[in-house]
Amino acid sequence: MNELDKMLEAPSDTAMPPLVRYCKSRKEAGDKIEVELYRPDGGAGISQADLVIHRWEKENEQMPTQVE
């Protein structure tokens, strides 16, 4: 189990970052959540990584959310 999974399973009164709270609330509402780490090829070295949150609500895929 990775750290994000551990945070999502933590009790609701546990302090956590806003993005994790959002994912936890959506998961508790019955949504399926997947988080993708995306780092575009910068060509000149290390580039900034982005998180892309994929969410399915009642089996219907919602628009992904990209967080920089």
Does pTM surpass 0.85?
no
Report strand pairing: 50-57 vs 32-38: antiparallel
Return the sign of the alpha-carbon dihedral for residues 63, 65, 34, 57.
negative
User: Which 3-state string (H, E, C) describes the chain?
Assistant: CCHHHHHHHCCCCCCCCHHHHHHHHHHHCCCEEEEEEECCCCCCCCCCCEEEEEEEECCEECCCEEEC
Query: Which tokens sit at 48?
Result: 């900034």
Total structural domains in the chain?
Answer: 1
Give the domain extent around 21: 3-67
pLDDT digits (tens, 9 = 90+) for 1-60: 677 778 888 887 888 888 888 888 888 899 998 888 877 777 776 778 788 889 999 889
